[in-house]
Structure 1
Amino acid sequence: MPCLLIRAFALSVFLPMAAMADSDAKSVIRQQFEAFGAGDVPRAFEFASPQIQGMFGTPGNFGLMVEQGYPMVWNHSALRFGGSRTKGDDTIQTVLVTGVDNAIYVLEYTMVLTADGWRINGVRVVPPAGLGA
């Protein structure tokens, strides 16, 4: 019986924390999309992890990479969230983006928890399920 109580307590504490972390990570992604949509590249750059910021150095370099490499992020018509999973200390969040070309893109955002909260540490385009690799 005590084991069941410990499990119930753990679930009551950790499941809400996991849901809050998931919500916070999604909020960061959404805010970055909004910043790109508003043409506010410096604001979008703030949502990148320190590692990504160090790699690109300036918001301008970062914005150029996104514009050229991820046009569906730079200019999109809709987004919605899929599932998420953990990989080590990171959270991988699936995002379905409708580009201005009306194509649907599946993106996996790697999210890291920093001293400033969740930040985006990478994005990769994945083939939609059932279409092969």
Structure 2
Amino acid sequence: MRHAALALLFCLGLGLSPVSAQSADPIEGVISNQLEAFGADDFEDAFSHASPMIRGLFQTPDNFGAMVRNGYPMVHRPADVSYGQREEQADAVLQNVVITDEAGAVHVLRYEMVETEDGWKINGVSLLQAPQVGA
């Protein structure tokens, strides 16, 4: 319970909004749709939200799914997701996403988004150091 309260305070302090698959924001929508696909173990759909560079790197939805399951378990099975700060760059948009995992730990990830002919795609995700709350 304490972890949930701390996570809520953390999110409120950052002015974050809850995840919505029907988000009017196209970048949040792509990320939300990929997270939903991971939650359903639909790695083919999750892979469809990856950029051409990521798709070339992993080659198949199964390889991509294995990488996420093993390297980003909080993304594979998030308990809660909210959106944080966004930074626009010349060729990409960096979107911070706060994910609470099933154990209640809070993770901040930075999604690099690129616009393609097929719309926004995820070009990479990096794990950021989450600020300590109540320490």
TM-score, length-normalised on structure 2?
Answer: 0.78
Match of 2:52 in 1: 50
Give the stretch that moved more between structures: 80-89 or 66-75: 80-89
Displacement after TM superposition at 1:116 (Å): 0.2
Displacement after TM superposition at 1:130 (Å): 5.8
Q: Indicate the SS of the match to 2:123.
A: strand
Q: Indicate the SS of the match to 1:128.
A: coil
Residue ranges of structure 1 left out of the alignment (5+ in a row): 1-21
Q: Which stretches of structure 1, 4 residues or longer, exceed 4 Å deviation after superposition? A: none
Q: Distance in 2 between matches of 1:87 and 1:103?
A: 30
Match of 1:92 in 2: 94
Q: Looking at both structures, which has the greater relative contact order when contacts are Cα pairs under 8 Å and sequence separation is at least 6?
A: 2
Task: Name the aligned partner's letter for residue 62 of structure 1.
Answer: F
Asked if 1:125 corresponds to 2:109, the answer is no
Number of positions where the alignment pairs a residue of Structure 1 with one of Structure 2: 110
Displacement after TM superposition at 1:99 (Å): 0.4
Task: Name the aligned partner's letter for residue 111 of structure 2.
Answer: Y
Match of 1:29 in 2: 31
Asked if 1:71 corresponds to 2:76, the answer is no
Task: Name the aligned partner's letter for residue 24 of structure 1.
Answer: P
CA RMSD of aligned residues (A): 1.4
Q: Distance in 2 between matches of 1:130 and 1:91?
A: 26
Displacement after TM superposition at 1:88 (Å): 2.1
Once the two structures are superposed, what CA deviation does each residue of 1:18-63 show, in whole Å capped at 9, x if it has no partner?
A: xxxx910110000000000111110000000010000000000000
Whichever of the two has the greater Rg, that structure is: 1
Q: Distance in 2 between matches of 1:125 and 1:87?
A: 19
Once the two structures are superposed, what CA deviation does each residue of 1:61-98 show, in whole Å capped at 9, x if it has no partner?
A: 00000001100001111100001011221000000001
Q: Indicate the SS of the match to 1:27.
A: helix
Q: Percent identity?
A: 44
